[in-house]
């Protein structure tokens, strides 16, 4: 509630302003007061900025091989130089450039997959929750079928059939990872649908489309955003796993999972080859997850009312 | 007086409890209800929770079609009136102003929703009408850009009333309009409803379990029990001479402000019966202190006498006795001159 400071000489206007703030203001305040969200948000923003400005961050081209400069250690290890701050890989490609361009791939896959599966899941979940009855039964059946399929195995099977490529990976994951959206949106919609403002809109004569889009959807969007952040992290990890197994993004594209796979042989004597993309991957997934946690903390209290 | 809204044997059943292993059972939420509300009246609808009041309200609003019987609005079947026209003429006010306003919309957006749905006027005209109706319900115009979470319960209910009245409907169905509010705010809202009736000439159906509210507002009262209207009369005679035993018990159970009296004893010993499996005969007989043997086997027929209705064997028998006595008196006086 309002922080009752300086009431003594408050005018009517001040009291007005000291009233409960608007939902937007409340959200902004909670956001800035949430330490985990702020820190993870900054990290995530840095990674995104790095990915967008990749040519500026990395001095080298990530695809140019230099076989005379193979496996140069990073600058903080013995034998490293500032010419290649993170060293070079087994084909002499600049590791910093590959990590930076790899962020592009990871983010692209994470965001596109979450977007695609989010749309599928939201449409299914909201229709199941809003219409109920037979539509709900059918959608729940589809959901049960989808949940009975192990994602990694199906993804492996499909990718090995159609061949690994960036588009194939995004399509497969986008068509597979909608289950959590559907479950969450369905139950959130069921809750909102039972509220009187939906009945009031119906009594006013509003069309079903208007009720769903203007009354229901804005009130379940919080949940969608929370699930979406977790699914971005999920997709990034899954892509890394697929690429590690050789069925995801194909070389020479710089994907972090692929870089870990390529570094496998050097694990014993040049562990940094694996550790660097590993740290990048963990940092990104951690940041995305923490932002998701923060969004949930910031958005959820309003639903609890 | 012509009826504004009228139900004829309206009935609503729900199929409940259907699962893989169990067949669905039927719940009669509203059981052949015939009601008629004249223009300008305030009909109070009272009864315990679960008696079918809210289902009846939804049917009258056009949100729930009756499974049998019909509902006439101004002589026309309600469900044959196009959605938008129906919405323009009948509007609800809900019980809980905390769930009846969309938390993501400003007050202005909430109140102008009916105008936007019906395509009334340009955005500037809509703004003007919103300001007018906010004045009318006694809410300062500066709240127009606020969100519901910034308003108190009473203010929110004023917003809900403004939304219901902005299209100037003929009939407003108030489902417990004050029971979610603080006592100090309740009377403000009730007086507002009365003022608006004078101003706009609306007809109200007032659903409530608060008898004091009904007594204060309603011109006529219908008492509902397990989906049936068991008694219906003008307010004064219902409160002075309750006829149905259920009405009597309801009136006795009202808390009195006198401190010495304590909480009144409820005469309704047995719990509310399961509406899926209602008692035989008169559905009230297990809880009735005057129950006769025939009450458990035979359902009473409604007894209508000049504008009032009661559905009870006791009243039927009394009427029959009076009828016989009158007939006897008739024959006695008729015989004398011969």
In terms of Cβ atoms closer than 10 Å to its own Cβ (0-12, 13-18, 19+), residue B329 is exposed
Within-domain flag for B335: no
Q: Which of A137-146, B252-261, B270-279 has the highest mean pLDDT?
A: A137-146
Say yes or no to pLDDT of B270 above 70. no
Average of per-residue pLDDT across B4-30: 82
Average of per-residue pLDDT across B218-246: 89
Residue B335 — very low, low, confident or very high, per pLDDT cuts 50/70/90? Answer: low
Whether A197 sits inside 8 A of B83 (CB atoms) is no
Whether B100 sits inside 8 A of A23 (CB atoms) is no
Domain ranges of chain A: 51-304
The reported pLDDT for the residue numbered B262 is: 61
* Across A122-126, A176-180, A294-298, B78-82, least confident range: A294-298
The reported pLDDT for the residue numbered B198 is: 87
Q: Taking a C-beta distance cutoff of 8 angstroms, is the pair A97, A60 a contact?
A: yes
For B202-215, write each residue's pLDDT tens digit: 999 999 888 888 88
Name the closest residue on chain A to residue B106, using Cα atoms. Answer: A22
Mean pLDDT of chain A: 84
Residue B235's domain comprises: 3-14+26-255+264-330
For B153-200, write each residue's pLDDT tens digit: 889 999 999 999 998 899 999 988 888 888 888 888 888 888 888 888
Q: ipTM value of the model?
A: 0.81
Torsion region of B74: left, alpha or beta (phi above 0 gives left; psi -120 to 50 gives alpha) = left
Residue B295 — very low, low, confident or very high, per pLDDT cuts 50/70/90? Answer: confident
Nearest one of B99, B159, B170, B98 to B133, comparing CA atoms: B159
Residues A104, A107, A110, CA angle at the centre, nearest 5°?
145
Say yes or no to pLDDT of B51 above 90. no
Within-domain flag for B204: yes
Residue A42 — very low, low, confident or very high, per pLDDT cuts 50/70/90? Answer: very high
Check if CATH label 3.40.50.12280 holds for domain A51-304. no
Q: Which of A146-155, A183-192, B79-88 has the highest mean pLDDT?
A: A183-192
How many domains are there within chain B? 1
Average of per-residue pLDDT across B19-41: 83
Residue A35 — very low, low, confident or very high, per pLDDT cuts 50/70/90? Answer: confident
Any B CB within 8 A of A299 CB: no
Task: Choose between B254 and A52: higher pLDDT.
Answer: A52
Closest-CA distance of chain A to residue B320, Å: 45
The reported pLDDT for the residue numbered B110 is: 93
Whether A205 sits inside 8 A of B88 (CB atoms) is yes
Say yes or no to pLDDT of A71 above 90. no
Strand B42-46 with B203-208, pairing: parallel
Name the closest residue on chain A to residue B165, using Cα atoms. Answer: A204
Torsion region of A283: left, alpha or beta (phi above 0 gives left; psi -120 to 50 gives alpha) = alpha
The reported pLDDT for the residue numbered B180 is: 80
Q: For helices B153-165 and B183-200, what crossing angle results, to 10°? A: 20
Dist CA B335 CA B338 (whole Å): 6
Average of per-residue pLDDT across A274-285: 90
Residue A5 — very low, low, confident or very high, per pLDDT cuts 50/70/90? Answer: very low
All residues at 6 or more sequence positions from A90 whose CB lies less than 8 Å from its CB, including other chains? A70, A71, A262, A263, A265, A266, A273
The reported pLDDT for the residue numbered B331 is: 79
Say yes or no to pLDDT of B1 above 60. no
Long-range contacts of A206-212 (CB under 8 A, 24+ apart): A206/B113, A206/B117, A207/B117, A210/B117, A212/A126, A212/A130
Q: What is the CATH number of the domain that holds B130?
A: 3.40.50.300
Dist CA B167 CA B250 (whole Å): 36
The reported pLDDT for the residue numbered B92 is: 92
The reported pLDDT for the residue numbered A14 is: 55
CA distances in angstroms from B21 to A139, B24, B27, B128, listed in the order given: 22, 10, 18, 58
Average of per-residue pLDDT across B11-23: 78
Cis peptide before A252 (omega within 30 of 0): yes
The reported pLDDT for the residue numbered A16 is: 55
Within-domain flag for B337: no
Whether B163 sits inside 8 A of A204 (CB atoms) is yes
Predicted TM-score of the model (pTM): 0.79
The reported pLDDT for the residue numbered A124 is: 95
Any B CB within 8 A of A17 CB: no
For A102-113, write each residue's pLDDT tens digit: 888 888 999 999
Q: Which of residues 213-252 of A touch B (CB under 8 A)?
A: 215, 218-219
Within-domain flag for B194: yes
Q: Which residues of B touch A21 (CB under 8 A)?
A: 150
Within-domain flag for B305: yes
* Across A113-117, A171-175, A272-276, B19-23, least confident range: B19-23
Average of per-residue pLDDT across A61-81: 78
Within-domain flag for B336: no
Within-domain flag for B64: yes
Strand B220-225 with B203-208, pairing: unpaired
Report the residue from A16, A196, A218 with minimal CB separation from B100: A196
HSE-up (13 A, CA, CB side) for residue B12: 22
Residue A305 — very low, low, confident or very high, per pLDDT cuts 50/70/90? Answer: very low
For A186-228, write each residue's pLDDT tens digit: 999 999 998 999 999 998 988 999 999 999 998 898 888 889 9
Residue from B81, B94, B113 to probe the interface with A (highest A Cβ count within 10 Å) = B113
- Helix (H) / strand (E) element for A273: namely helix A272-304
Say yes or no to pLDDT of A303 above 60. no
Within-domain flag for B187: yes
For A13-22, write each residue's pLDDT tens digit: 555 555 667 7
Q: Which residues of A touch B78 (CB under 8 A)?
A: none
Say yes or no to pLDDT of A183 above 90. yes
For residue B208, what are the β-bridge partners? B46
């Amino acid at each position: 509630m309002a922080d009752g400071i300086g009431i003594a000489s408050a005018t009517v206007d001040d009291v007005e302003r000291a009233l409960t703030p608007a939902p937007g203001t409340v959200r902004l305040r909670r956001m800035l007061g949430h330490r985990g969200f702020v820190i993870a948000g900054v990290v995530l923003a840095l990674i995104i900025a790095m990915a967008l400005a990749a040519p500026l961050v990395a001095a080298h081209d990530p695809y140019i091989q230099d076989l005379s400069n193979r496996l140069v250690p990073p600058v903080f290890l013995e034998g490293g130089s500032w010419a290649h701050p993170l060293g070079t890989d087994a084909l002499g490609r600049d590791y910093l450039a590959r990590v930076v361009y790899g962020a592009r791939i990871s983010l692209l896959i994470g965001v596109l997959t979450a977007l695609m599966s989010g749309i599928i899941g939201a449409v299914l979940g909201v229709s199941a929750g809003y219409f109920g009855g037979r539509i709900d039964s059918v959608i729940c059946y589809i959901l049960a079928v989808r949940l009975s399929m192990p994602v990694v195995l199906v993804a492996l099977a499909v990718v090995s059939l159609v061949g690994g490529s960036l588009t194939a990976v995004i399509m497969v994951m986008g068509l597979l990872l909608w289950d959590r959206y559907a479950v969450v949106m369905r139950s959130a919609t069921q809750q909102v649908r039972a509220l009187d403002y939906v009945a009031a809109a119906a009594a006013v004569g509003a069309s079903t489309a208007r009720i769903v889009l203007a009354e229901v959807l804005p009130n379940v969007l919080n949940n969608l955003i929370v699930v979406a952040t977790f699914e971005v992290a999920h997709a990034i990890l899954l892509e890394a796993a697929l690429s590690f197994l050789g069925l995801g993004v194909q070389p020479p594209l710089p994907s972090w999972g692929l870089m870990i796979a390529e570094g496998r042989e050097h694990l014993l004597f040049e562990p940094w080859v694996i550790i660097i993309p590993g740290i990048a991957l963990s940092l990104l997934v951690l940041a995305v997850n923490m932002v998701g946690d923060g969004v949930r903390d910031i958005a959820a209290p309003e639903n609890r009312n | 007086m012509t009826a504004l809204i009228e139900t004829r044997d309206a009935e609503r059943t729900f199929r409940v409890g259907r699962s893989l292993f169990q067949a669905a059972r039927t719940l009669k939420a509203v059981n052949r209800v015939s009601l008629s509300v004249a223009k300008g009246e305030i009909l109070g609808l009272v009864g315990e929770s679960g008696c079918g009041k809210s289902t009846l309200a939804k049917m009258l609003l056009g949100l729930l079609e009756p499974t049998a019987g019909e509902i006439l609005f101004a002589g026309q079947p309600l469900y044959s009136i196009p959605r938008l026209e129906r919405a323009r003429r009948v509007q609800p006010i809900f019980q809980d102003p905390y769930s009846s306003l969309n938390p993501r919309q400003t007050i202005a957006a909430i109140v102008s929703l009916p105008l936007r749905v019906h395509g009334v006027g340009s955005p500037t005209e809509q703004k003007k009408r919103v300001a007018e109706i906010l004045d009318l319900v006694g809410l300062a115009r500066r709240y127009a850009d606020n969100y519901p979470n910034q308003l108190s319960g009473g203010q929110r209910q004023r917003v809900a009333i403004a939304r219901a009245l902005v299209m100037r409907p003929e009939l407003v169905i108030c489902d417990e309009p004050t029971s979610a509010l603080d006592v100090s705010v309740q009377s403000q809202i009730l007086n507002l409803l009365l003022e608006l009736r004078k101003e706009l000439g609306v007809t109200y159906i007032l659903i409530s379990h608060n008898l004091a509210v009904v007594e204060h507002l309603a011109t006529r009262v219908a008492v509902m029990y397990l989906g049936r209207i068991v008694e219906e009369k003008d307010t004064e005679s219902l409160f002075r001479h309750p006829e149905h035993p259920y009405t009597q018990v309801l009136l006795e159970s009202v808390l009195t402000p006198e401190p010495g009296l304590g909480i009144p004893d409820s005469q309704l010993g047995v719990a509310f019966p399961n509406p899926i499996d209602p008692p035989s005969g008169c559905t009230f007989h297990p809880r009735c202190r005057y129950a006769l043997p025939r009450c458990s086997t035979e359902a009473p027929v409604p007894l209508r006498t000049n504008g009032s209705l009661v559905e009870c064997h006791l009243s039927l028998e009394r009427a029959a006795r009076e009828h016989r006595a009158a007939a006897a008196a008739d024959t006695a006086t008729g015989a004398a001159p011969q």
